[in-house]
Protein backbone atom coordinates (compact mmCIF):
# COMPACT_ATOMS: atom_id res chain seq x y z
CA UNK A 1 0.00 0.00 0.00
CA UNK A 2 1.40 3.42 -0.89
CA UNK A 3 1.37 6.28 1.57
CA UNK A 4 -1.41 7.91 -0.52
CA UNK A 5 -3.85 5.06 -0.01
CA UNK A 6 -3.10 4.19 3.61
CA UNK A 7 -6.28 4.75 5.64
CA UNK A 8 -6.06 6.04 9.18
CA UNK A 9 -8.18 3.83 11.39
CA UNK A 10 -9.56 5.69 14.40
CA UNK A 11 -8.52 3.83 17.54
CA UNK A 12 -11.84 4.18 19.38
CA UNK A 13 -14.57 6.68 20.16
CA UNK A 14 -13.99 9.91 18.19
CA UNK A 15 -12.29 12.54 20.34
CA UNK A 16 -13.06 16.26 20.04
CA UNK A 17 -11.18 18.28 17.41
CA UNK A 18 -9.21 21.20 18.88
CA UNK A 19 -8.16 23.91 16.39
CA UNK A 20 -4.39 24.47 16.07
CA UNK A 21 -3.95 28.14 15.40
CA UNK A 22 -0.18 28.59 15.52
CA UNK A 23 0.50 28.56 11.77
CA UNK A 24 -0.23 31.15 9.11
CA UNK A 25 -1.36 28.97 6.34
CA UNK A 26 -3.16 25.73 6.80
CA UNK A 27 -6.86 26.25 7.34
CA UNK A 28 -8.78 23.57 9.20
CA UNK A 29 -5.75 22.19 11.06
CA UNK A 30 -6.92 20.44 14.23
CA UNK A 31 -5.62 18.22 16.98
CA UNK A 32 -7.62 15.07 17.72
CA UNK A 33 -6.30 13.10 20.70
CA UNK A 34 -2.63 12.50 20.03
CA UNK A 35 -2.97 13.14 16.30
CA UNK A 36 -3.01 16.20 14.05
CA UNK A 37 -5.36 16.38 11.04
CA UNK A 38 -4.12 18.40 8.08
CA UNK A 39 -6.24 19.00 5.00
CA UNK A 40 -4.32 17.63 1.99
CA UNK A 41 -2.19 20.21 0.17
CA UNK A 42 -0.13 20.33 -3.02
CA UNK A 43 2.76 18.97 -0.94
CA UNK A 44 0.92 16.06 0.67
CA UNK A 45 2.28 13.36 -1.65
CA UNK A 46 5.88 14.21 -1.00
CA UNK A 47 5.41 14.91 2.71
CA UNK A 48 3.74 11.52 3.30
CA UNK A 49 6.64 9.70 1.62
CA UNK A 50 9.22 11.81 3.35
CA UNK A 51 7.75 11.21 6.81
CA UNK A 52 7.56 7.48 6.07
CA UNK A 53 11.22 7.53 5.08
CA UNK A 54 12.22 9.38 8.25
CA UNK A 55 10.34 6.87 10.35
CA UNK A 56 12.01 3.92 8.60
CA UNK A 57 15.37 5.62 9.14
CA UNK A 58 14.63 5.82 12.86
CA UNK A 59 14.64 9.63 12.90
CA UNK A 60 12.77 10.91 15.95
CA UNK A 61 12.68 14.63 15.15
CA UNK A 62 9.57 14.69 12.92
CA UNK A 63 5.95 13.63 13.34
CA UNK A 64 4.88 10.24 12.00
CA UNK A 65 2.52 10.02 9.05
CA UNK A 66 -0.27 7.74 10.26
CA UNK A 67 -2.56 7.63 7.21
CA UNK A 68 -5.51 9.46 5.65
CA UNK A 69 -8.64 9.80 7.76
CA UNK A 70 -12.25 9.40 6.64
CA UNK A 71 -12.45 13.10 5.74
CA UNK A 72 -9.39 12.80 3.49
CA UNK A 73 -7.11 14.63 5.93
CA UNK A 74 -3.48 13.69 6.50
CA UNK A 75 -3.18 12.26 9.99
CA UNK A 76 0.13 12.91 11.76
CA UNK A 77 1.36 12.14 15.23
CA UNK A 78 1.05 15.09 17.64
CA UNK A 79 4.46 16.04 19.05
CA UNK A 80 4.04 17.29 22.63
CA UNK A 81 5.96 20.43 23.61
CA UNK A 82 6.07 24.14 22.87
CA UNK A 83 6.00 25.98 19.57
CA UNK A 84 6.17 29.74 19.26
CA UNK A 85 2.89 31.50 18.51
CA UNK A 86 2.61 35.19 17.57
CA UNK A 87 3.97 37.30 19.10
CA UNK A 88 7.03 35.12 19.63
CA UNK A 89 7.88 34.30 23.26
CA UNK A 90 11.19 35.58 24.67
CA UNK A 91 12.95 32.22 24.46
CA UNK A 92 12.95 32.43 20.66
CA UNK A 93 15.73 35.02 21.01
CA UNK A 94 17.92 32.87 23.29
CA UNK A 95 21.18 31.70 21.80
CA UNK A 96 20.63 28.28 23.37
CA UNK A 97 17.28 27.92 21.55
CA UNK A 98 18.90 28.82 18.24
CA UNK A 99 21.79 26.40 18.81
CA UNK A 100 19.45 23.53 19.53
CA UNK A 101 17.46 24.29 16.36
CA UNK A 102 20.68 24.29 14.30
CA UNK A 103 21.58 20.88 15.74
CA UNK A 104 18.11 19.52 15.08
CA UNK A 105 18.19 20.74 11.47
CA UNK A 106 21.61 19.13 11.01
CA UNK A 107 20.28 15.84 12.35
CA UNK A 108 17.26 16.05 10.01
CA UNK A 109 19.48 16.89 7.02
CA UNK A 110 21.79 13.97 7.81
CA UNK A 111 18.88 11.57 8.33
CA UNK A 112 17.20 12.50 5.04
CA UNK A 113 20.43 12.75 3.00
CA UNK A 114 20.46 9.02 1.99
CA UNK A 115 17.10 9.54 0.25
CA UNK A 116 18.80 11.97 -2.14
CA UNK A 117 16.40 13.62 -4.60
CA UNK A 118 13.74 11.02 -5.44
CA UNK A 119 11.55 11.38 -8.55
CA UNK A 120 8.40 11.88 -6.43
CA UNK A 121 9.88 14.98 -4.85
CA UNK A 122 8.71 17.26 -7.63
CA UNK A 123 5.26 18.69 -6.89
CA UNK A 124 4.64 20.36 -10.24
CA UNK A 125 5.43 23.90 -9.09
CA UNK A 126 9.18 23.63 -9.35
CA UNK A 127 9.73 25.54 -12.59
CA UNK A 128 10.70 29.14 -12.03
CA UNK A 129 8.05 31.81 -12.63
CA UNK A 130 8.77 34.27 -15.43
CA UNK A 131 11.20 36.98 -14.39
CA UNK A 132 12.53 35.01 -11.44
CA UNK A 133 16.35 35.04 -11.26
CA UNK A 134 17.72 31.51 -11.55
CA UNK A 135 19.06 29.75 -8.53
CA UNK A 136 22.79 30.02 -7.85
CA UNK A 137 22.67 27.24 -5.27
CA UNK A 138 23.86 24.48 -7.59
CA UNK A 139 22.71 20.88 -7.83
CA UNK A 140 20.19 19.88 -5.15
CA UNK A 141 21.45 17.00 -3.04
CA UNK A 142 18.63 16.23 -0.61
CA UNK A 143 15.10 17.15 0.53
CA UNK A 144 15.60 20.20 2.69
CA UNK A 145 12.92 21.46 5.13
CA UNK A 146 13.22 25.11 4.01
CA UNK A 147 10.67 26.62 6.43
CA UNK A 148 12.39 26.53 9.81
CA UNK A 149 10.27 29.23 11.46
CA UNK A 150 9.80 29.24 15.26
CA UNK A 151 6.21 28.06 14.63
CA UNK A 152 7.56 24.98 12.87
CA UNK A 153 9.87 23.70 15.61
CA UNK A 154 8.66 21.85 18.71
CA UNK A 155 10.66 22.41 21.92
CA UNK A 156 10.72 20.34 25.07
CA UNK A 157 12.38 21.80 28.16
CA UNK A 158 14.07 24.53 26.12
CA UNK A 159 15.52 22.16 23.52
CA UNK A 160 14.32 21.78 19.92
CA UNK A 161 13.14 18.19 19.47
CA UNK A 162 11.11 18.08 16.26
CA UNK A 163 10.55 19.85 12.97
CA UNK A 164 6.93 20.01 11.84
CA UNK A 165 5.15 21.50 8.81
CA UNK A 166 7.04 19.96 5.89
CA UNK A 167 4.87 21.71 3.28
CA UNK A 168 7.82 23.59 1.78
CA UNK A 169 10.15 20.60 1.63
CA UNK A 170 12.04 20.57 -1.64
CA UNK A 171 15.24 19.41 -3.28
CA UNK A 172 17.98 21.82 -2.21
CA UNK A 173 21.55 22.16 -0.97
CA UNK A 174 22.95 22.44 2.55
CA UNK A 175 23.74 26.11 1.97
CA UNK A 176 20.08 26.80 1.08
CA UNK A 177 18.85 24.99 4.20
CA UNK A 178 21.28 26.92 6.40
CA UNK A 179 20.31 30.23 4.75
CA UNK A 180 16.72 29.48 5.78
CA UNK A 181 17.87 28.66 9.32
CA UNK A 182 19.72 32.00 9.46
CA UNK A 183 16.68 33.91 8.29
CA UNK A 184 14.56 32.75 11.23
CA UNK A 185 17.07 31.94 13.99
CA UNK A 186 19.82 34.37 13.02
CA UNK A 187 17.55 37.38 12.42
CA UNK A 188 18.78 37.87 8.85
CA UNK A 189 16.37 40.69 8.12
CA UNK A 190 16.16 44.41 8.90
CA UNK A 191 15.45 45.25 12.55
CA UNK A 192 12.21 47.01 11.63
CA UNK A 193 10.80 43.78 10.18
CA UNK A 194 11.84 41.59 13.10
CA UNK A 195 9.51 40.28 15.72
CA UNK A 196 10.13 42.46 18.84
CA UNK A 197 11.89 39.69 20.81
CA UNK A 198 14.66 39.28 18.23
CA UNK A 199 15.10 42.97 17.40
CA UNK A 200 18.38 43.23 19.35
CA UNK A 201 19.97 40.00 18.09
CA UNK A 202 23.37 40.65 16.49
CA UNK A 203 22.95 38.94 13.12
CA UNK A 204 26.67 38.51 12.43
CA UNK A 205 27.72 36.91 15.72
CA UNK A 206 24.53 34.82 15.90
CA UNK A 207 25.31 33.55 12.40
CA UNK A 208 28.76 32.38 13.47
CA UNK A 209 27.25 30.50 16.41
CA UNK A 210 24.64 28.85 14.18
CA UNK A 211 27.25 27.79 11.62
CA UNK A 212 29.26 26.05 14.33
CA UNK A 213 26.19 24.39 15.84
CA UNK A 214 25.13 23.10 12.41
CA UNK A 215 28.71 22.25 11.50
CA UNK A 216 28.55 23.71 7.99
CA UNK A 217 31.72 23.06 5.96
CA UNK A 218 33.98 25.87 4.67
CA UNK A 219 32.91 25.63 1.00
CA UNK A 220 29.24 26.06 1.90
CA UNK A 221 29.97 28.79 4.44
CA UNK A 222 31.64 30.82 1.73
CA UNK A 223 28.43 30.60 -0.33
CA UNK A 224 25.79 31.21 2.31
CA UNK A 225 25.43 34.99 2.05
CA UNK A 226 25.14 34.91 -1.74
CA UNK A 227 22.71 32.00 -1.52
CA UNK A 228 20.60 33.89 1.06
CA UNK A 229 20.45 36.97 -1.17
CA UNK A 230 19.56 34.90 -4.23
CA UNK A 231 16.92 33.06 -2.18
CA UNK A 232 15.38 36.38 -1.12
CA UNK A 233 15.29 37.55 -4.75
CA UNK A 234 13.68 34.30 -5.83
CA UNK A 235 11.32 34.23 -2.89
CA UNK A 236 9.55 37.42 -4.04
CA UNK A 237 8.60 35.67 -7.31
CA UNK A 238 7.78 32.32 -5.72
CA UNK A 239 5.59 33.85 -3.01
CA UNK A 240 3.75 35.93 -5.57
CA UNK A 241 3.04 32.84 -7.64
CA UNK A 242 1.78 30.93 -4.59
CA UNK A 243 -0.53 33.85 -3.75
CA UNK A 244 -1.90 33.78 -7.31
CA UNK A 245 -2.20 30.03 -7.77
CA UNK A 246 -2.84 28.67 -4.27
CA UNK A 247 -4.68 31.63 -2.71
CA UNK A 248 -5.68 31.11 0.96
CA UNK A 249 -3.01 32.00 3.49
CA UNK A 250 -0.49 32.72 0.71
CA UNK A 251 -2.75 35.39 -0.78
CA UNK A 252 -3.45 36.81 2.66
CA UNK A 253 0.29 37.12 3.38
CA UNK A 254 0.89 38.74 0.01
CA UNK A 255 -1.95 41.22 0.55
CA UNK A 256 -0.49 42.03 3.97
CA UNK A 257 2.77 43.11 2.33
CA UNK A 258 5.14 40.15 2.55
CA UNK A 259 6.43 41.05 -0.92
CA UNK A 260 7.70 44.43 0.32
CA UNK A 261 9.20 42.75 3.37
CA UNK A 262 11.15 40.46 1.06
CA UNK A 263 12.40 43.46 -0.94
CA UNK A 264 13.60 45.10 2.31
CA UNK A 265 15.34 41.84 3.25
CA UNK A 266 17.16 41.82 -0.09
CA UNK A 267 18.39 45.36 0.52
CA UNK A 268 19.47 44.51 4.08
CA UNK A 269 21.37 41.41 2.96
CA UNK A 270 23.11 43.33 0.20
CA UNK A 271 24.09 46.11 2.64
CA UNK A 272 25.35 43.70 5.32
CA UNK A 273 26.84 41.05 3.03
CA UNK A 274 30.48 41.84 3.76
CA UNK A 275 30.03 41.86 7.55
CA UNK A 276 27.98 38.64 7.55
CA UNK A 277 30.42 36.91 5.21
CA UNK A 278 33.39 37.87 7.39
CA UNK A 279 31.63 36.62 10.53
CA UNK A 280 31.00 33.14 9.17
CA UNK A 281 34.12 32.40 7.13
Q: Which residues bind ligand ADP (CB under 6 A)?
A: 20, 22-26, 29, 36, 63, 76, 78-79, 83, 151-152, 154, 164-165, 167
Nearer residue to ligand ADP within complex by CB, 19 or 116: 19
Least CB distance to ligand ADP at residue 198 (A): 17
Buried b (16+ CB within 10 A) or exposed e, 73-85: bbbbbbbeeebbe
**Chain-centre distance for alpha carbon 271:** 25
Residue 76, contacted partner among ligand ADP, Mg ion, none, CB below 5-8 A by kind: ligand ADP
Residue 105, contacted partner among ligand ADP, Mg ion, none, CB below 5-8 A by kind: none
Question: Which one of the spans 35-43, 148-156, 232-240, 265-273 is the region binding Mg ion (CB under 5 A)?
Answer: 148-156
Least CB distance to ligand ADP at residue 223 (A): 28
Nearer residue to ligand ADP within complex by CB, 44 or 173: 44
Find the radius of gyration of the CA atoms of the chain.
18
Residue 63, contacted partner among Mg ion, ligand ADP, none, CB below 5-8 A by kind: ligand ADP
- 23 belongs to the binding site for Mg ion (CB under 5 A): yes
Which phi and psi (to 5°) does residue 44 adopt? -55, -45
Instruction: List the helix and strand counts (H, then E) for the chain.
Output: 7, 9
Residue 180, contacted partner among Mg ion, ligand ADP, none, CB below 5-8 A by kind: none
Which phi and psi (to 5°) does residue 50 adopt? -60, -45
Nearer residue to ligand ADP within complex by CB, 80 or 217: 80
Least CB distance to ligand ADP at residue 149 (A): 8
CA–CA dist 66, 79 (Å, integer): 13
Cα distances (Å, whole numbers) of residue 193 to 106, 183, 189, 211: 27, 12, 7, 23
Contact status, residue 152 vs residue 84, Cβ threshold 8 Å? no
- 74 belongs to the binding site for Mg ion (CB under 5 A): no
Q: How many CB atoms lie within 10 A of CB 87?
A: 10
Within 156-195, which residues bind Mg ion (CB under 5 A)?
165
Q: Which residues bind Mg ion (CB under 5 A)?
A: 23, 151-152, 165
Amino acid sequence: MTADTRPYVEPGQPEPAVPLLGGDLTEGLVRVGDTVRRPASVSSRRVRRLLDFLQSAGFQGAPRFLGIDESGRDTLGFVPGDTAGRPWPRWVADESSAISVARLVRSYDDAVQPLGVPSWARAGDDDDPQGCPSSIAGQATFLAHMDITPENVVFQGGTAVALIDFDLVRPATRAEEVANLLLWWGAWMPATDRDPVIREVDAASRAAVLMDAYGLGPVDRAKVVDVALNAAERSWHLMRRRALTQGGGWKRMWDEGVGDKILRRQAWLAENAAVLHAAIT
